[in-house]
Amino acid sequence: MNERHEPLGPMSGPQVLPCPLDALDTPCLLLDEARMDHNIARLRTRLRAAGVGLRPHLKTAKSWEVSRRLMASVHGPATVSTLREAEELADRGVTDITYAVGIAPHKLPRVQALRRRGVDLTVLLDSVEQARAVAAASDPANPVPALIELDCDGHRSGVKPGDSALLTAIARALAPSARLRGVLVHAGESYEARGEEALAAAAEGERAAAVTAAAILREAGFPCPVVSVGSTPTAFSARSYAGVTEVRAGVFVFFDLVQAGIGICTTDEIAVSVLATVIGHQHDKGWAIIDAGWTALSCDRGTAGQAVDQGYGLVCDVHGRPLGDLVVTGVNQEHGIVAPRPGSAEGLPGLPVGTRLRILPSHACAMVTQHDRYHVIGGGGDMVTAVWPRLMGW
């Protein structure tokens, strides 16, 4: 590999790549490329065997280098959670994008600007008010396509899948300037499912909701070519995709401790971690202090309600091997407290000041959004081989 000089941290000067982890400033975000590639292949293989398409959600990665590995081609398809993501993808030549957050009317000029650039950008809505705003802002010569968001489990927003009056009212409000493209559902409550049967039931509930709503719209005379489902737990748990045209998922690219707690992955498949340094101790409390607080790890406590509480992250050695029951039990802005998880019989191992540790994320989406770049570990080893920027903003 040719030597390259790239900035590896906010306080570091140019470094020669590849470089060892001890050359990095801390805290910083690590990405195991081999694990990521494995995770992508795992879902892609599953969906290919089922004959259903993958429209990856890029909100977790927010990186071109990761996104181009997730998409079927350099043109898409893709799912995004911000128009900033859509604009960045458009700059890279991606033309098939779903903006999977309910549309705010003031954002429609940006939607139209992207469509004038040749991007087939689809918006999401769940009300007649939004549909009217989309229709009013739409160019009849280039009508904005919309998906109706469905609520299959009371998790968040969306139309109840059997509410034929509201579904058809939304579809009518889009015509004639805009157009209905289909329905979209996200089984957010699948994150609370425990066990194979509960996960399969969540996936079936998601599928049935989408298919039911699509049938209502078609019977009312509205075309519904897209039937879109997706969450990482249901993507790996569905037993049938009958009637579904595409699956969306995002966090599967990296996985995290929440997904491990659900049973969707193992800790050995988690592809991202934060590299941190031990900076002190409170020996009477059984604590080690690291230089990674909530600004590096996030405040997400997604495993708090699971059978095993992983705190603010599972503590590993510098090679990524978990250190028994060690977790990050508390965070301040720039400090993290490392200790055995509550109830553990283990004590704090020797962790001298200067020891490098890697912290696996409770929720990968929340951890990685704290950072502006990935330090890529090639081939599952301990050498940084590349630095990939992350996209920030809305």
Domain ranges of the chain: 4-31+264-389, 57-249
Residue 185 DSSP code: E
Instruction: Give the tens place of pLDDT for each residue, 102-154.
Output: 999 999 999 999 999 999 999 999 999 999 999 999 988 899 999 999 999 98
Confidence grade of residue 15 (pLDDT, cut at 50, 70, 90):
low
CATH 3.60.15.10 is right for the domain spanning 4-31+264-389: no
Given this model, what pLDDT does residue 12 score? Answer: 45
pLDDT in tens, 376-387: 998 667 899 999
- pLDDT at residue 11, rounded to an integer: 36
pLDDT digits (tens, 9 = 90+) for 157-215: 999 999 999 999 999 999 989 999 999 999 988 998 999 999 999 999 999 999 999 99
Give this prediction's pTM.
Answer: 0.94
> 85-94 long-range contacts, Cβ below 8 Å, gap at least 24?
85/58, 85/59, 85/391, 86/114, 86/119, 86/121, 87/114, 88/64, 88/391, 89/58, 89/64, 90/114, 90/117, 90/119, 92/64, 92/68, 94/67, 94/119
- Residue 276 predicted with pLDDT over 70: yes
User: What number is the average pLDDT over the span 301-319?
Assistant: 96
pLDDT of residue 4: 42
Residue 393: CB atoms within 10 A of its CB come to: 10
How many residues are recorded in the chain? 394
Q: Whose CA is closest to 184, among 144, 165, 156?
A: 156
Beta pairing class for 314-317 and 322-331: antiparallel
Q: Which residue has the higher pLDDT, 209 or 343?
A: 209
pLDDT in tens, 47-94: 999 999 999 999 999 999 999 999 999 999 999 999 999 999 999 999
| CB 131 within 8 Å of CB 139 | no
d(CA 59, CA 237): 21
Q: What is the pLDDT of residue 188?
A: 87
CATH of domain 57-249: 3.20.20.10
> Is 331:299 a contact under the CB 8 Å cutoff?
yes
> What is d(CA 347, CA 350) in angstroms, rounded to the nearest whole number?
9
